[in-house]
């Protein structure tokens, strides 16, 4: 499960919402929303924003988790190199 998907599920269940309710709000089918929660499919940035609004969640939190999932996916099998690469990225972002 992805970081974002896990958080979406937690927020949804806390509010006693069904998967199909979130899916209907996004105008996607329930199967797609299920895949997003399980990390089998990536949500778009706009979908994350819409999910945050619907679940009354902090948009920045969900977007941060979305980006973390994207970075983790990009790292793939390079986990040994990832910490150094992320440190370089961190330095570059401060410039």
Question: Average pLDDT in the 23-40 region?
Answer: 95
Token pair of 20, please?
A: 């199909």
Predicted local confidence at residue 23, as pLDDT: 96
CB of 4 within 8 A of CB of 11? no
| Helix axes 19-26 and 3-14, enclosed angle (nearest 10) | 110
CATH of region 3-94, choose from 2.40.170.20, 3.10.105.10, 1.10.260.40, 3.40.50.970: 1.10.260.40
Instruction: Give the rounded percent of residues in the chain with a pLDDT score beyond 90.
Output: 74
């Amino acid at each position: 499960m992805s970081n974002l998907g896990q958080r979406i599920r937690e927020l949804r269940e806390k509010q006693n919402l069904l998967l199909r309710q979130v899916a209907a709000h996004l105008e996607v089918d329930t199967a797609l929303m299920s895949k997003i929660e399980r990390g089998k499919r990536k949500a778009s940035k706009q979908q994350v924003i819409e999910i945050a609004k619907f679940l009354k969640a902090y948009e920045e939190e969900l977007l941060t988790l979305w980006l973390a999932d994207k970075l983790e996916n990009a790292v793939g099998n390079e986990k040994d190199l990832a910490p150094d690469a992320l440190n370089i990225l961190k330095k570059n972002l401060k410039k």
